[in-house]
Structure 1
Amino acid sequence: MQYPEFQFLSSQASQVAHSCYAFGIFEKNHTTPEASHLTDEPLYHDVLLPLIKESQFTGQQGTIATANGLPTVGKVILVGLGKQEAIGEEAIRQAAGMVYNACIKLYSPSVVVHFNTLLNDTTHLKAFAEGILLAAYVDERFKSQKDTKTTYLKKVYLLNAKADDQTIQLAQKIATGVNLARDLVNAPPNYATPSMLAQTATELAQKHHLALNILEKEDCAKLGMGAYLSVTQGSNAVPKFIHLCYKPKSLDAQSPFQKIALIGKGVTFDSGGLNLKIGNAQIELMKCDMAGAAAVLGAAEAIGAIQPRKEVHFIIPATENMINGSATKPGDVVTASNGKKIEIDNTDAEGRLILADALVYAEKLGVDAMVDLATLTGAMVTALGTHMSGIFGTDPQLTNSLMAASPRTGEKIWQMPLEASYFKSMQSIVADMRNTGSKKGAGSITAALFLKEFVEKTAWAHLDIAGTAWKEQPWCYHHAGATGFGVRLLVDWLLNS
């Protein structure tokens, strides 16, 4: 896809002909906008003030007003930014997405943006650019009829913003990672197979000069990955255990986490196995069960381009969870690579099985911290809905640093408890543990407790992204479909921890 081009303007917007004009308006109170910063704008009295009054525009965050065919200026967009004293990166990111979508509706290929002095701030400029770039995502790979009617936004002129091409380039690198993750999750499961994920990793390794090791089924067997391999048994698709690695020339000695492993659940289609998904389990959306893997590959794309002073390992146990005569059965006992024996109580609790062996593998690399991402439990959707992911962790410094990245990126996470007493519900008569709890409720917690059994001493955090990886309806800078959740959070954390 082709991103819109950004250009900085220091003079009045009138120098750009045949454009659309977007103004950020603050909220003074619930009924009155704060537009005093625009009173010197030549369009204020003849265009902006009448549009504010006619549309009853208040400047509340998330509101928008547009006008088309105005005699002196043509097209105008007013975007509500909320209270000026409370403005943050996510509010600007959302406003940028709204500007992009409004330009599409107004058939405008260019826009002049006047957000007062907000975009002189590096973090705000980055957020604005991200909002535009993420909203510009288009996926027509699997359509025979391409969209030839939409007028896509091609030029974004930033008025009175300090020229900072480096920040724009950083936003582009991050957006490219997010959009790669979106592509992977949006792709149909007969396309996005374990082998295709391995091919994507190969292309990233070549593009960014990353080290790559792809473990085949036989390699995993030699390492004793019985938990991971038990999930692969029912599928004709060849499993791939992917290990990408970025190593800088020098490490950031000031960071507590200099060597990091990012681990993504890579179930490219989840039928549930013999515990087949039925009813509201939405088997038709189970191509999304590799969203954790997609986020890790998206992070690899961004990190490979940005090149921070952190050593980062990107680990993906990729497989399908399908049914044939060799499929794992409820009641089977498998042995993970740390020697722990697991009774398979439910074949649809497969994500934790493949992550178990991945965590053991990652810890042996000698990293300072491990973070896994997984569409792991429907219970997380029940607990936190579709706008927030849950985070579990064993190390407060790691968890807090990830939590700190959340408001900067707008990818919301909420800390969940690792209540040790709940592990009793996973006790097995015949093995060390079962892969699910016997009691109803706390399904996300018991899943996290299961994963904790495969971490010895390394700082570890688990992100359950079951509710946030996919959106049924478009919203701000998100289209319907894959969100790429986790890429921006991980990249921000890596750059700032």
Structure 2
Amino acid sequence: MQISAVAKEINEWSGSVLICGILEGRIESQINSFKTIIKDSYLSQRFNDAKFEGQKSQKLSIELNEGKIKKIIFVGLGKAENLQVEDLRKAASIGTRQVLGYEKKLGISFPWDAFDPSSAASAVGEAVRLSSIKDLRFKSEPKESTSIEEVELIGLNVKATELAIAEINPICEGVKFARELVSAPPNFLTPYQMSKEAEKLASDYDLDLKILNKQECEDQGMGAYLAVAKGSDLDPKFIHLKYSSKTAKNKIVLIGKGLTFDSGGYNLKVGASQIEKMKYDMGGSASVLGAARSIAELKPSNIEVHFIVASCENMINGSALHPGDIVKASNGKTIEVNNTDAEGRLTLADALVYACKLEPNAIVDLATLTGACVIALGDEIAGLWTDDDKLSSQLTKAAAKAGEGIWRMPMQDSYKSGIKSSIADLQNTGPRPGGSITAALFLKEFVNSNIPWAHIDIAGTCWTEKDRGINPKGATGYGVRMLVNWIKDLSQKPN
């Protein structure tokens, strides 16, 4: 998809399908912009008949028989004094869904003056691109086309938006890649296949790659990770990708939980646990690999980024992890497994120890870790746990720029008592109250205290059962844009 800013008025634009944002309470003044395209009286009448007042998310489609422009989709933006970039993003998504399959060239006219041009261009361009994605890989019918090939942002400053627009497609390709990983069925996306996807990334974008097999993980003492993998006939794959610029001054590690399928083990998922959806338990790894895809193409300077995934399945066989087993992680800590369905934190434990050995400036992990986080924050907001205020601020800013919800949660030290074991150093779950907090506290036990670290629980945000425009029903690719924004910011402000 080609996206560009054009310094034109609406009446100078040469395309045939137009999306226009309308402010509530300012319809009459905005109608003047369309004088040469459509009669004032006709447009006013159509607005009146449809009771279109420019309220948020209102939409009205008008077909035209004369002139160059054949169709206009008006989308309400709400009141001018409350207008935010997120409103542009949502309006662009609403309008795009109305024209998919209609025309190859699309024009968008919004009240840009209220915003930084690059921020507005990024938000709207990403919204159109991501709203257009359809995953049809596993359908038997012929592949469909989104049909939108060209998008012009009418009246937006060309020079001020050049860099932001150039970054839209690389970032959105990362989100698309993450969505496809999450959407893929577990008989396709196995740990082995995930390692092959990493190999392709390394080959296509000149990334360094190391994949540890089962024996190599045993040699590193990864007893917690390997204990989870024992119940599967498929071998685990520990994936380590690296991007490095020539002048790397910051070293960052991104870790994604990589359970390609989670049955729950002997604590089998039943009822409301939705075992049939547990292909998305590798949502964290998808976000991390999606970010790798984007960062490798964007090539930020002054930074080295490591992408780590401890990939495996959590299944049941005669060798599987038992409730009550004690396993030893690679930092020597012993863990009593009181619930085999709390397996993600076991795989992350050894991944975190491995990451610390790289001596990075910061570590961030993403994981579909707890149902408790979904209960606390719902399906639009991820939970953020960190003791580092600077890291929290950076990630929150990066998520806000992406329009991805995130909320900092407490690291209540007194809750540590909930994960103490009488016969081992730790147990892998605590009491039900505060379950997402005790999960974060468990992970903290495997991170060096001198390394800034953040845990992001995306259990609610990596998948949606509702069509939200920019995030159609299914995999969302949550976290890719946040991570890329964060890495870009760090690359511009080296330590």
Preserved contact between residue 253 and residue 355 of structure 2 (Cα < 8 Å): yes
- Residues 314-360 of structure 1: CA deviation (Å, up to 9, x unaligned): 00000000011000101110000000000010000000000000000
Listed as ranges, the matches of 1:100-119 within 5 Å are: 100-104=96-100, 107-118=102-113
- Residues 12, 192 of structure 1: CA spacing in aligned structure 2 closer, same or farther, 3 A cutoff? same
- Residues 169, 7 of structure 1: CA spacing in aligned structure 2 closer, same or farther, 3 A cutoff? closer
CA offset at residue 283 of structure 1? 0.2
1:343 and 2:336 matched:
yes
1:470 and 2:463 matched:
yes
CA offset at residue 430 of structure 1? 1.2
- Residues 214-270 of structure 1: CA deviation (Å, up to 9, x unaligned): 011101101100000000000011110000011111135xxxxx2110000000000
1:223 and 2:220 matched:
yes
Residue aligning to 1:310: 303
**What is the aligned counterpart of 1:326 among 319, 327, 334?**
319
Q: In the aligned structure 2, how far is the partner of 1:79 from the partner of 1:220?
A: 54
Aligned with 2:461: secondary structure? coil
Preserved contact between residue 245 and residue 312 of structure 1 (Cα < 8 Å): yes
Aligned with 1:425: secondary structure? helix
1:244 and 2:241 matched:
yes
Amino acid in structure 2 at the alignment position of 1:115: F
CA offset at residue 126 of structure 1? 1.2
Preserved contact between residue 4 and residue 165 of structure 2 (Cα < 8 Å): no
Listed as ranges, the matches of 1:435-446 within 5 Å are: 435-437=428-430, 439-446=431-438
Give 5+ residue unaligned stretches, structure 1: 253-257
Q: In the aligned structure 2, how far is the partner of 1:354 from the partner of 1:10?
A: 52
Aligned with 1:406: secondary structure? helix
Q: In the aligned structure 2, how far is the partner of 1:8 from the partner of 1:338?
A: 52
Q: In the aligned structure 2, how far is the partner of 1:18 from the partner of 1:362?
A: 51
**What is the aligned counterpart of 1:185 among 182, 187, 191?**
182
Residue aligning to 2:83: 87
Residue aligning to 2:153: 158
Residue aligning to 1:450: 442
TM-score with structure 2 length normalisation?
0.93
CA offset at residue 408 of structure 1? 1.1
Listed as ranges, the matches of 1:305-454 within 5 Å are: 305-308=297-300, 309-437=302-430, 439-454=431-446
CA offset at residue 71 of structure 1? 4.9
1:123 and 2:116 matched:
no
Residue aligning to 1:43: 37
Q: In the aligned structure 2, how far is the partner of 1:449 from the partner of 1:289?
A: 20
Q: In the aligned structure 2, how far is the partner of 1:65 from the partner of 1:162?
A: 27
- Residues 284, 136 of structure 1: CA spacing in aligned structure 2 closer, same or farther, 3 A cutoff? same
Preserved contact between residue 134 and residue 146 of structure 2 (Cα < 8 Å): no
Preserved contact between residue 108 and residue 151 of structure 1 (Cα < 8 Å): no
CA offset at residue 110 of structure 1? 2.6
CA offset at residue 91 of structure 1? 1.9
Aligned with 1:288: secondary structure? helix
Q: In the aligned structure 2, how far is the partner of 1:8 from the partner of 1:391?
A: 35
Q: In the aligned structure 1, how far is the partner of 2:332 from the partner of 2:28?
A: 65
CA offset at residue 53 of structure 1? 2.4
Preserved contact between residue 364 and residue 456 of structure 2 (Cα < 8 Å): yes
1:60 and 2:55 matched:
yes
Preserved contact between residue 390 and residue 463 of structure 1 (Cα < 8 Å): yes
CA offset at residue 11 of structure 1? 3.8
Listed as ranges, the matches of 1:255-274 within 5 Å are: 258-274=250-266
CA offset at residue 169 of structure 1? 2.1
Q: In the aligned structure 1, how far is the partner of 2:11 from the partner of 2:27?
A: 23
**What is the aligned counterpart of 2:140 among 144, 148, 173?**
144
- Which stretch of the first structure deviates more once superposed, 45-54 or 324-333? 45-54
Amino acid in structure 1 at the alignment position of 2:411: L
Residue aligning to 2:493: none
Amino acid in structure 2 at the alignment position of 1:43: I
CA offset at residue 152 of structure 1? 2.7
1:300 and 2:297 matched:
no
Amino acid in structure 2 at the alignment position of 1:211: D
- Residues 431-459 of structure 1: CA deviation (Å, up to 9, x unaligned): 1111011x231110110010011112211
Residue aligning to 1:255: none
- Residues 12, 420 of structure 1: CA spacing in aligned structure 2 closer, same or farther, 3 A cutoff? closer
Aligned with 1:265: secondary structure? strand
Preserved contact between residue 19 and residue 109 of structure 1 (Cα < 8 Å): no
CA offset at residue 34 of structure 1? 4.5
- Residues 399-439 of structure 1: CA deviation (Å, up to 9, x unaligned): 111112222111110111111111112221211111011x2
CA offset at residue 67 of structure 1? 1.8
Q: In the aligned structure 2, how far is the partner of 1:117 from the partner of 1:94?
A: 15
Preserved contact between residue 10 and residue 33 of structure 2 (Cα < 8 Å): no
Amino acid in structure 2 at the alignment position of 1:125: A
CA offset at residue 15 of structure 1? 5.6
Q: In the aligned structure 1, how far is the partner of 2:487 from the partner of 2:461?
A: 21
Amino acid in structure 2 at the alignment position of 1:129: G
CA offset at residue 123 of structure 1? 1.1
Q: In the aligned structure 1, how far is the partner of 2:271 from the partner of 2:363?
A: 35
- Residues 193, 206 of structure 1: CA spacing in aligned structure 2 closer, same or farther, 3 A cutoff? same
Q: In the aligned structure 1, how far is the partner of 2:45 from the partner of 2:481?
A: 39
* Moved segments of 4+, more than 6 Å: none
Amino acid in structure 1 at the alignment position of 2:168: A
Preserved contact between residue 469 and residue 485 of structure 1 (Cα < 8 Å): yes
Q: In the aligned structure 2, how far is the partner of 1:472 from the partner of 1:121?
A: 33
Measured on the aligned residues, the alpha-carbon RMSD in Å equals 1.9
Q: In the aligned structure 2, how far is the partner of 1:354 from the partner of 1:40?
A: 58
- Residues 179, 273 of structure 1: CA spacing in aligned structure 2 closer, same or farther, 3 A cutoff? same
Residue aligning to 1:235: 232
Preserved contact between residue 204 and residue 301 of structure 1 (Cα < 8 Å): yes
Aligned with 1:404: secondary structure? helix
